[in-house]
Amino acid sequence: MLDFNDSIAAIATPPGRGGIAIVRISGPDARKVATLITKAHDPKLNALKELPAELPPELSAAPLKPRYVYLRKFYDGLDEVDEGVIVYYAAPHSYTGEDVVELQGHGGNVVPQRVLSAVLKIAGVRQAEPGEFTRRAFLNGKMDLTAAEAVEDLISAGSESAAKAALASLNGAFAVRLQQLSEQLTQLRVRLEACLDFPEEHEDFFDSGRAQSELAHLCALTQEAVTIAGQGVRLNEGARIVLAGQPNAGKSSLLNALAGSERAIVTNIPGTTRDVLTINIEIGGIPVTITDTAGIRDRPSDEIEAIGIARALDELKQADLILLMIDTSKPAAEALEALNHMQKLFDHPKHLMVLKSKSDLPPNAETAALLTQEPWAQMEQIATSTKTEHGLEQLRRKLHEVLGIIPSEGVFSARRRHLTALNESAEALKRAQEMLELGDLVLTARELSIAQEHLGTITGKVTSDDILGIIFSTFCIGK
């Protein structure tokens, strides 16, 4: 179990070459750290030959004003390890709500580690766990759980739209919407409980239909939150597009065209791609991962290609959208084999788009006729050529449409657990409507309580240490 009453320290900047590196300390011993790290050259301490665990009274408080910047040398024991600036943030006016000290020294791989090592030698200070600074901010009431998670979402944002959505959540957009929902739900529950306790005084609330009206309004607001949260999840997680098809169908050429660079090896030899190859791009503000897979065929040329095909099948199962490449210049048998593989994986292939590749070549009449028949006729089809760029712009527009156009305004970042909790809350409200129509006010009140509990798990008003541990374990150390 972590002790949140002690002091923690970590490097808060990325490793590697850089102008500045920050070592952050938070907790009751932060000021003691500031004194020991910067005053080791003081004659009173120097005379002791080694630094004590507790400071002499005359040095017990670091002469630092909150939010002022001081140029200091940093010491490990009596040895100078770096020089930089020190900033002190007094509780509760800091990121974590505790006393916080930042040592801003030189960047690099070695120097920041030397400074951190000196800090961790001081009694009462330990290495911070991943996300522990933000977890303390949450526990100290500096932010709710939606804002805390938005910190990580902002750091790891894969597109400008995702960054805007994360910043909106960090500034409270998600929390405000949840608070409005919770307040209206609370008001309805109060009136319902009053009616249960004093039915003769509150019968008109239900007889007049006000309860049904308010509950219907709550259901609509919750469903709207589900929709926006779903958009936030898509921005946060991105979309997975997988290129599939027979060997030499043009998958690698299309990947290079979408990436705008030569990422995949392209030859006329079938089976050139032996493993999955992934690129990250942005389509319509949504971060998208596009995966080029080994060509799928029943008789691989060797064991390596067979392993590549197995990995390709795994990727297809996880795809949000499959682009099935059909070389229209080849015999129809190849198209049938490609579709057969899709039908083996999925009973009813969905989220599948057919790309008729190499449209610059003369088409095979049999293949062209096949693609007009069922089930091909029901599938979205786009003719493309990476040589002439025919159809590529149409493909980009279609991908934008399929992935969903998400407006940058009004969208907040969300996670899968948020969406699950909102859906659970919406389901509870629907059950409450059914119970209200049946006249069972006790069960109506119970379903309203369940709906509010699910909302509470999003903001952290209803949570557990296990859930918090899972959430903050995904953070980087130092944040």
Question: What is residue 273's predicted lDDT score, i.e. its pLDDT?
Answer: 43
| 389 vs 86, more confident | 86
- What was the pLDDT predicted at 270? 42
What average pLDDT score do residues 253-280 get? 58
The pLDDT of residue 97 is above 90: yes
d(CA 469, CA 366): 59
User: Residues of the chain with pLDDT > 70: what percent?
Assistant: 76
pLDDT at 290 over 90: no
Phi, psi of 52 (to 5 degrees): -80, 160
Q: Is residue 272 part of a domain?
A: yes
Clarify whether residues 254 and 206 are in a common domain. Answer: no
Candidates 315, 311, 309, 313; CA nearest to 297 is 309
**pLDDT for residue 173 is more than 60:** yes
Same-domain status, 383 and 434? no
For residue 232, count other CB atoms closer than 10 A to its CB.
27
Q: Is residue 255 part of a domain?
A: yes
Q: Is the pLDDT of residue 84 over 90?
A: yes
Number of domains in the chain: 3
One domain for residues 429 and 393: no
Mean pLDDT to the nearest integer, 93-110: 93
Q: Which of 148-152, 244-248, 283-287, 470-474 has the lowest mean pLDDT?
A: 470-474
pLDDT band at 347 (very low <50, low <70, confident <90, very high): low
- CATH code for position 106: 3.30.1360.120
Ordered strands of the 321-327 beta sheet: 277-283, 286-292, 239-245, 321-327, 352-357, 380-383
CATH number at residue 361: 3.40.50.300
Local structure of 71: helix, strand or coil = strand
* Domain contains 145: no
**Confidence grade of residue 171 (pLDDT, cut at 50, 70, 90):** confident
Residue scoring higher pLDDT (207 or 166): 166
Claim to verify: residue 186 and residue 295 sit in the same structural domain: no
For residue 407, CA distances in Å to 171, 399, 404 come to 18, 16, 10
Q: Mean pLDDT over residues 1-27, rounded?
A: 87
Does 425 lie in the same domain as 278?
no
How far is Cα 288 from Cα 307, in angstroms, rounded to an integer?
A: 25
Domain carrying residue 200: 155-210+415-460
What is residue 304's predicted lDDT score, i.e. its pLDDT?
57
The answer to whether residues 250 and 358 touch, using CB atoms and an 8 Å cutoff, is yes
> Which of residues 165 and 43 earns the better pLDDT score?
165
Look at residue 20 in the predicted model and tell me its pLDDT.
92
DSSP structure class, residue 97: S
Instruction: Give dist(CA 359, CA 460) in Å, integer.
Output: 55
- If one compares 405 and 219, the residue with the highest pLDDT of the two is 219
Average pLDDT, the chain: 78
Query: φ, ψ for residue 259 (rounded to 5)?
Result: -75, -25
Q: What is the 3-state secondary structure (H, E, C) of 118-138?
A: HHHCCCCEEECCCCHHHHHHH
In a domain? residue 384: yes
Q: Of 186-190, 201-205, 313-317, 421-425, where does mean pLDDT reach its minimum?
A: 201-205
Mean pLDDT calculated for residue range 162-175: 81
Write out pLDDT tens, residues 107-127.
998 999 999 999 999 888 999
Domain final residue pick, 114, 140, 166: 140
Give the mean model confidence (pLDDT) for residues 455-475. Answer: 69
